[in-house]
Structure 1
Amino acid sequence: MSKTLTFRHVSYLWDEAKALELAGNEVDLFIYRSNLLGADLRLTNYAGGNTSVKIMETDPLTGQPVPVMWVKGSGGDIGTLTKAGCANLYVDRLHALKSRYRGLEFEDEMVELFNHCLFDPKCATPSIDTPLHGLLPYKHIDHLHPDALIAIAASKDGEAIMKEIWGNQMAWIPWQRPGFDLGLKLEQAVQENPNLRGIILGGHGLFTWGETSYESYINTLEVIEQASEYLEQRYGKKSPVFGGARLENTDEQTRKNRAADLMPTLRGLASSYRRMIGHYTDDARVLEYINSNDLDRLAPKGTSCPDHFLRTKIRPLVLDEPEKLAQKSADELKAYLTGKFEAYRADYAAYYERCKHDNSPAMRDPNPVVILWPTVGMFTFAKDKQTARVAAEFYTNAINVMKGAEAVSEYVGLPEQEAFDIEYWLLEEAKLQRMPKPKSLSGKIAYVTGGTGGIGKAICEALLQEGACIVAVDRNLLDETQTDLRKRYGKDNALSAAIDVTDVATINDSLRQATLQFGGVDIIVNCAGLSISKPLAETTQKDWDILQDVLVKGQFLVSQEAVVILRKQGLGGDIVNIASKNGLVAGPNNVAYGTAKAAQLHMSRLLAAELGPEKIRVNTVNPDAVLRGSKIWEGEWAAGRAKAYGISIEELPAHYAKRTLLNEEILAEDIAKAVRVFVDGSLSKSTGNVLNVDGGVAMAFVR
């Protein structure tokens, strides 16, 4: 094999210095190679494909050296693979399973037998691809799903194209579902031609190998590079890409505005089975496809690679172009979209009925995962943000496959029955059943004003811990807060955005960002605030105005604009307003602040009465004296309260704790827990309520 080191279509990431550090440890080098391959989405998707290495280990029972295969375990991702994510199995025992194999009808029983081949019983669960690696004689093996290779594998003339590019260096195995029989076919292919450098699985992907981790890495890159070059030289030669453009691209701002306007309605419809999180992209590759003449011909064919299909469903939902929809009234648009979803669900149910077997699992969510809107972009909806984003990546890969296949031949999708047999595979169902139950706020999106402050950030964290996606909006500390929350709770789950709660334009811009990022909002927490403590004579009109603007007007404007999105979704929702004990208690030197807080309290009751019929709950949390970490206790407010009580600032924490019935200091985390209990389903039949979190202040009892 040649050793190409310059690539145009894939990333050569091998660091020889790093490899030398790992020299002598084949497993570490295998993990290193796997991570490099997974770092380039042109080579394989997230969690797509698998890699392996065969080494000699000491048998713990006999003390003798035995060949053991380390391979990516079920459900893992090679880009982030560690030893803990690998299965390791006796190679000899895998080969011994040949005598136990009873044919294609009994494939599933082989998976249970993999457990009897484990070298380390505590290792990761072996995947269905285990025999595809174990029955091949090579030390290092890469199985990937590169777009360029699948384009050839999913084309009508794929095998002939393979021979044109590689001659007899590659073998072709027609499509069949992964399993022990496919492993036997791979073994047979290399026995018949020991000089192969790889195998293409029709409609599926690529197998390549090498005697060292580096040789396998280079071989893999070279094969994919050669396929990519072949496709690039033919784009647009046979005919215009995707039959040429039918529609012209709109500008980016128009696309995003249209997407943000429609996405909450789509999310509401896509959430009829369970609440979904959305993802939007206007990637150039997506736009080329959805604006083309061939969209209506290719979209119904669905995807080809099993990994693509499992993430994106049988086919996407395609909407009319915006110009046609713009002619409809709001009611007509909602009726049109509702009809499109109903038709999709009916089509999916018919597909299920046509293809189901006697032992098939019950039909799953019939809503579309992928929604294509010409000139605007692609929307994907899934149980969480990462899954929605990955679905978009997979369908973009499917677009790349269609583009390549059409450039050199004709695209062939996965046959419907084969697609169903993968989607409703009993082993796949078992994997789904093993997944942990969703957290109480999974599928929910929270929008928190004052989200970078002490109380606001604590609220964000409490909601993230229960599975919510959050948008922290504030005036400062945006990058720091977003970076911190993403580091601790996942890069997909947190967003920060700038806001001035007294300015409708910035409110709408931040809500637009929330919608484009996640699909809409479910929980609105009005936490933005400030405090001014002065006696009547010293309170200025400026003091009065800023408290009314931020606390009262801000709560009103944010609620008003957010409710527009809640109504589009039609899923109900929660508004939680962070007021104060001072809204109930008449304390000294506090006329402007206390009046504003009382207004917040009553506004909450008014909105609860108005929005209740739409299942939008409005409740209030009343903190008191949250000193540690709270912005409002920085500067003049603490000094003003200390002066009012005739004590020093340092004495304030003890003073506030001692005056409570429970003699407890109140923390930002305590307020966050109160917000969580209002929105996590625990109080789903409560609205218009007030929850005091003040340690017990008798004067603040609601009576």
Structure 2
Amino acid sequence: MSINNDTITRFKHVSYLWDAEKAASMAGDEVALLIYRSNLLGADLRLTNYGGGNTSCKATANDPLTNAETDVMWVKGSGGDLGTLKRNGLAALYLEKLHQLKNIYKGIQMEDDMVELLNHCIYDLQSKAPSIDTTLHAFLPFKHIDHLHPDAAIAIAASKDGKAITTELFNGTIGWVEWQRPGFDLGLQLQQCLEENPGIRGIMLGSHGLFTWGDTAYESYINTLEVIERCAAYIQEHEGVKRPVFGGNKIETPAPAERARQAAALAPILRGACSGHTRMIGHFTDDERVLQFINSQDLPRLAPMGTSCPDHFLRTKISPLVLDLPATADLGHPTEIKLQLQPQFEAYRKMYEEYYNVCKHPNSPAMRDPNPVVILWPGIGMFTFAKDKQTARVAAEFYINAINVMRGAEAISSYIALPRQEAFDIEYWLLEEAKLQRMPKPKPLSGRIALVTGSAGGIGKAIAQKFAAEGAAVVICDNDTTRLENAKAAFDKQFGKDGFTSYLLDVTSKDNVEAIFRHTALAFGGVDIVVNCAGLSISKPLDEHTEADWDLLYDVLVKGQFLVTQGGVALMRKQQIGGDILNIVSKNALVSGPNNAAYGSAKAAQLHLSRLNAAELGADRIRVNVVNPDAVISDSKIWEGAWAAGRAKAYGIKVEELPAFYASRTLLNEIILPEDIANACFVFVSGLLNKATGNVLNVDGGVAMAFVR
């Protein structure tokens, strides 16, 4: 295939990212070029969705048993993602053995059995497990092959006239294979399509996606881009010609700030409704493509139809829940809103149960969670709920892909979704169920959302890191911009962008506290754990204490704990799934050292406020517990300033002697670290103490005078 450089500069609907110099450095290494090409394709969500599609290359390698050259195919392994693919994400298989499988294939009734036999074809025993699409690549003779799920191509593949449009658009150079579940038999159909249409440059899979190829990695890449570009340009040429996109607007959308305010107010209610089986994490988007769809005349017709591409509905469920709720609804009375939405959720669960019962087979896995993954609120935006933030965010990306497909199909013809039985057979496929069963067991805090104040350093940071490591989505916040930026960098490196969000917080400001909980609701859907850790210390004799010292300590420690607890409880009550308030107080709440009047009494107020809150919130299944540290010096901002000097002066020692001094006065003679406090907090929220509230856990090395009883 000739490469037209003028064509490269005319790409408008896809991104041409090939770096010839970089590719030249990989010359002769077909696998390296495969990974490079895959990463470029996966970087453009218009070409394929996260985790979707697969790529391959065929080359010769030495057989480890005979040392003779043999033909090997490298293909993206099961469960991988093209954008982040590395060599260890590939499956490497003997090509000849893959073709020998045809000799024992007895028909579509044994198709699932063929997946096990792929293991007998593995060349590299350290490679990734082969995916169901392996034979689709093996049975086509080309050295490099791309199988993608581009929105523009699927829009044609999922339209009523898709086959005719494909033939006309590409003058017969793109083949067509009707919808069939991926597997061995589909690989044979691709081979047959090529044999019946020699010289074609690709194959469109009905309702599914696109296969393209080339003799080199670059030729395959260019061929793929050119085909998708032509599909996208064709759709653009027709969009809005017959009728407005999605039939035009039915409702107007509020301004962005109002959409965000409404979404933040409703998110915890929706999260509670979706968390009956499994605690869910939420994601919200009011992307322009979403708004165009949810505000349209065609929404009531298209949304219930569901998606077409298997990758789409595996992530988004068979169809979304469209809320019957005005965008201008008054959400100031959450109980009334819950009562209004409850029948809508019940109707969705009933629909899903009927779908399962009508379509199930005798050996189908048990019905999964019947709650919606995608919730559309006309005028406002789209919520998605899943087991963790990444899965919820990716579900939103997939549904935007589905919206793009519906828009394109409606522009050129009319959209058709997969029949429900076909969709069910994918969703409840025994091979898919086996993949789910192989997934790692959820971590103790999976599905939980934790907000930790004062978490840019010291105890707060250690708690946030511990919770994130145990599976929680974490909100880190602090009033120190520099420390917060440093913490963000550390969390991003350790947990990735989906593991946390951050906020500059002044706990003494009611407006700021309300804002962080709106931020939390938009980021994750609600909150389950609130840790009041923000604090400071001032150590002075009574006659040196100023009124400003007193006010600052009580504002941060007592008022701050009150405001943050109040804001967290408001979200928890909307969710109606309980929660945890953890207050990091101090040994000083029980027994205070010298020159400590304001700090020690403020800590005592924090402790008693915790007792009062525990008594009041039990009916809401909100537990309130206290961890009492003492002398946690490592990474603590408190010890950077005058506090350390003040404490050293009070005890008649040098500042550098404080750690050993504090350890020596404990029963265990131990220095207390931030990680020790984090572990104590985890004990309270790990699930082992779900029936414990109003407790005080001392983590001070053993200070006998501070024993609670």
Distance apart, 1:480 and its partner CA: 2.4
Contact 2:167 2:174 in 1 (8 A): yes
2:671 corresponds to 1:689: no
Please say if residues 46 and 77 of structure 1, whose CA atoms lie closer than 8 Å, have aligned partners that are also in contact: yes
Distance in structure 2 (CA, Å) of the matches to 1:102 and 1:509: 63
Superposed, 1:649-664 pairs within 5 Å as: 649-664=655-670
Q: What SS does the corresponding residue of 2:25 show, helix, strand or coil?
A: helix
Q: Which amino acid aligns with 2:523?
A: Q
**Residue 18 of structure 1, aligned match among 14, 17, 22:** 22
User: Please, which of 576, 584, 590 is the counterpart of residue 584 of structure 1?
Assistant: 590
Q: Which residue of 2 aligns with 1:518?
A: 524
Q: How do 1:236-635 residues align onto structure 2 when only pairs under 5 Å count? A: 236-323=240-327, 325-326=329-330, 330-476=334-480, 477-635=483-641
Deviations 1:105-145 (A, max 9, x none): 11100000000000012211100000100111000000000
Distance in 2 (CA, whole Å) between partners of 1:65 and 1:330 is: 69
Whole-Å Cα distance in 1 between the matches of residues 194 and 331 of structure 2? 61
Conservation of the 8 A alpha-carbon contact between 2:323 and 2:375: yes
Runs of 4+ in 1 over 6 A off after TM superposition: none
- 2:214 corresponds in structure 1 to 210
- The partner residue of 1:702 within 662, 685, 708 is 708
Supply the distance in 1 between the matched residues of 2:331 and 2:626 (Cα, whole angstroms). Answer: 41
Query: Cα distance, 1:104 vs. partner?
Result: 1.2
Query: How many residues were matched structurally?
Result: 703
Query: Counterpart of 1:95?
Result: 99
2: distance between equivalents of 1:328 and 1:609? Answer: 26
* 2:170 alignment partner in structure 1: 166
Q: Which amino acid aligns with 1:619?
A: N
1:478 deviates by 2.5
Q: 1:544 to 1:328 in 2, by over 3 A?
A: closer
**2:502 partner letter:** S
C-alpha separation in 1, matches of 2:372 and 2:289: 21
Equivalent residue for 2:239?
235
After alignment, is 481-490 or 106-115 more displaced? Answer: 481-490
Q: Give me the TM-score of the superposition, normalised by structure 2.
A: 0.98
**SS of the residue 1:167 aligns to:** coil
Contact 2:457 2:487 in 1 (8 A): no
- Tell me if the contact between 1:481 and 1:496 (Cα under 8 Å) persists in the aligned partners: no
SS of 1:439's equivalent in the other structure is: coil
Instruction: Provide TM-score, normalisation by structure 1.
Output: 0.99
Contact 1:321 1:375 in 2 (8 A): no
**Which residue number corresponds to residue 5 of structure 1?**
8
Q: C-alpha displacement at 1:206, in angstroms?
A: 0.2
RMSD, aligned α-carbons: 1.0
1:496 aligned partner, one-letter code: S
Alpha carbons of structure 1 residues 506 and 243: separation in structure 2 relative to 1, 3 Å: same
- Deviations, residues 666-691 of structure 1 (Å, cap 9, x unaligned): 11111111111111112111110011
- After superposition, the C-alpha distances for 1:41-74 in whole angstroms (9 at most, x for unaligned) are 0000000000000010111111111100000000
CA distance in 2, matches of 1:551, 1:347: 50
Between the aligned partners of 1:490 and 1:9, the Cα distance in structure 2 is 29
Question: Separation in 1 of the partners of 2:500 and 2:283?
Answer: 13
Looking at structure 2, the residues matched to 536 and 324 of structure 1 have their Cα atoms a distance apart, in angstroms, of 55
Q: Within 1, Cα distance between the matches of 2:487 and 2:517?
A: 18
Confirm or deny: 8 A CA contact 2:61 2:70 kept in the other structure.
yes
| Farther off after superposition, 534-543 or 223-232 | 534-543
Structure 2 CA distance for aligned equivalents of residues 323 and 677 of structure 1: 42
Shift of 1:335: 1.2
- Cα 1:335–1:328 change in 2 (3 A) is farther
Paired letter, 1:630: S
Structure 1 contact 249–291 (Cα < 8 Å) conserved: yes
What are the superposed Cα offsets for residues 312-338 of structure 1, whole Å, 9 maximum, x if unpaired? 000000012425744995433211211
Give the secondary structure class of the aligned counterpart of 1:359: coil
| Counterpart secondary structure, 2:689 | coil
CA deviation string 1:533-591 (max 9, x = no partner): 11111111111111111000100011011100000000100000000000111321111
Distance in 1 between residues matched to 2:88 and 2:340, nearest whole Å: 49
Q: Is the 8 A contact 2:262 2:331 kept in 1?
A: no
**Contact 2:179–2:207 (CA<8 Å) still a contact in 1?**
yes
Matched AA of 2:634: R
Assess, with a 3 A threshold, how the Cα gap between structure 1 residues 468 and 661 changes in structure 2: closer, same or farther: same
Letter in 2 for 1:249: T
Q: Secondary structure at the match of 2:538?
A: coil
Cα distance between partner residues in 2 of 1:312 and 1:104: 28
Q: Structure 1 CA distance, aligned partners of 2:650 and 2:688?
A: 39
Q: Say whether the 8 Å CA contact 1:321–1:373 is kept in structure 2.
A: yes
Amino acid at match of 2:439: M
Q: Quick check: 1:383–1:442 contact (8 Å CA) kept in 2?
A: yes
The answer to whether the 8 A contact 2:265-2:331 is kept is: no
Q: What residue number does 2:179 align with?
A: 175
Match of 2:684 in 1: 678
Which one is further off, 202-211 or 453-462? 453-462
Partner of 2:224, secondary structure, is helix
5+ long unaligned stretches in structure 1 = none
Query: Match for residue 189 of structure 1?
Result: 193
- Percent of residue pairs bearing the same amino acid type: 66
Q: Distance in 2 between matches of 1:331 and 1:556?
A: 24
Q: Does 1:640 align with 2:646?
A: yes
> Any idea what SS the aligned residue of 2:263 has?
helix
SS in 2 for 1:322: coil
